[in-house]
């Protein structure tokens, strides 16, 4: 779900919010928060099939952000089940910001009825000003037994990142983050996986280019 197109954003006007073009976004644009005290972004996934889902928000924190840790990210099914979390507090993230990363809510959301709607929102209505946040999208990831087993390895990966804190490696890794369930960070995976025909197409392109160039040289020398 594209935040800028498919969600309702309170106070969507200058100087609070801006819909900004960004080629790094899978949708080509993002909702850019400049400054607002009443922050409320909400939308609905309609007709979701029964199953268990992970809620994934894709966002970026800009340098010198304020009060973004107070924002509650939620997803609620019609059966009353709720998944909610806040961004993990990290002083370096506030100071230096990050590239886009996936923030995964720690609780899985179970849909018990077929074609059920899921309401999602991020909200903070305190008087403090929330600033410098980019919201790209939110999506549902079906969860199976295989993916659950993979989650157990994320903790070990997180410990490796934490171990590099004193040597300064963690700061560089903040440019490429993905959160794991439990609101901790792990490196994120791209939305579109690399396919074999992409590399084959590139090889074919350069082969055709080389043949064309050779023919041009041959025609000039003869």
- Phi/psi zone of residue 89: left (φ > 0), alpha (ψ -120 to 50 degrees), beta? beta
pLDDT single digits (tens) 102-147: 888 988 999 988 889 999 999 999 989 999 999 999 999 998 754 5
Kindly state the average pLDDT of the residues 153-160: 49
Close Cβ partners of 98 (under 8 Å, ≥ 6 residues apart): 60, 61, 174, 175, 177
Residue 72: count of CB within 10 angstroms of its CB? 14
Instruction: Work out the burial of residue 68: count CB atoms within 10 Å of its CB; fewer than 13 is exposed, 13-18 middle, 19 or more buried.
Output: buried
pLDDT of residue 79: 86
pLDDT reading at 48 higher than 70? yes
Contact status, residue 129 vs residue 37, Cβ threshold 8 Å: yes
Radius of gyration of the chain from its Cα atoms, rounded to whole angstroms = 22
CA nearest to 125, candidates 65, 59, 36: 36
What's the distance, Cα to Cα, between the start and end of the chain in Å? 59
Query: Average pLDDT over the chain, rounded to whole?
Result: 78
pLDDT, tens only, 1-27: 999 999 999 999 999 999 999 888 888
Note the pLDDT of residue 84: 93
More confident residue, 158 or 212: 212
| DSSP H/E element including 211 | helix 196-221
- Mean pLDDT over 143-157 rounds to 54
Check residue 70 and report its DSSP letter. Answer: G
Q: Nearest to residue 122, comparing CAs of 55, 169, 75?
A: 75
Name the band, by pLDDT with cuts 50, 70 and 90, for residue 198: low
- How do residues 60-105 score in pLDDT, each as one tens digit? 888 888 999 999 999 999 888 999 999 888 777 777 777 888 888 9
């Amino acid at each position: 779900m594209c935040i800028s197109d498919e969600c309702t954003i309170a106070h969507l006007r200058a100087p609070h919010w801006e819909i900004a073009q960004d080629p790094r976004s899978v949708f080509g644009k993002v909702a850019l928060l400049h400054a607002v005290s009443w922050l409320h972004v909400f939308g609905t996934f309609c007709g979701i099939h029964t199953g268990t889902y992970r809620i994934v928000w894709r966002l970026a924190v800009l340098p010198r952000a304020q009060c973004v840790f107070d924002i509650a990210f939620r997803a609620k099914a019609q059966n009353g089940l709720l998944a909610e979390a806040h961004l993990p507090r990290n002083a370096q993230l506030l100071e230096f910001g990050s590239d886009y990363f996936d923030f995964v809510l720690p609780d899985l959301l179970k849909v018990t009825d077929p074609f059920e709607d899921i309401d999602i929102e991020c909200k903070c209505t305190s008087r403090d000003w929330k600033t410098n946040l980019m919201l790209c999208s939110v999506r549902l990831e079906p969860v199976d037994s295989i993916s659950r087993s993979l989650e157990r390895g994320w903790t070990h990966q997180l410990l490796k990142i934490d171990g590099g804190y004193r040597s300064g490696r963690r700061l560089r890794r903040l440019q490429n983050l993905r959160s794991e369930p439990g609101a901790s960070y792990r490196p994120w995976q791209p939305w579109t996986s690399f396919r074999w025909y992409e590399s084959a197409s590139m090889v074919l392109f350069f082969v055709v280019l080389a043949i064309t160039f050779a023919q041009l040289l041959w025609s000039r020398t003869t």
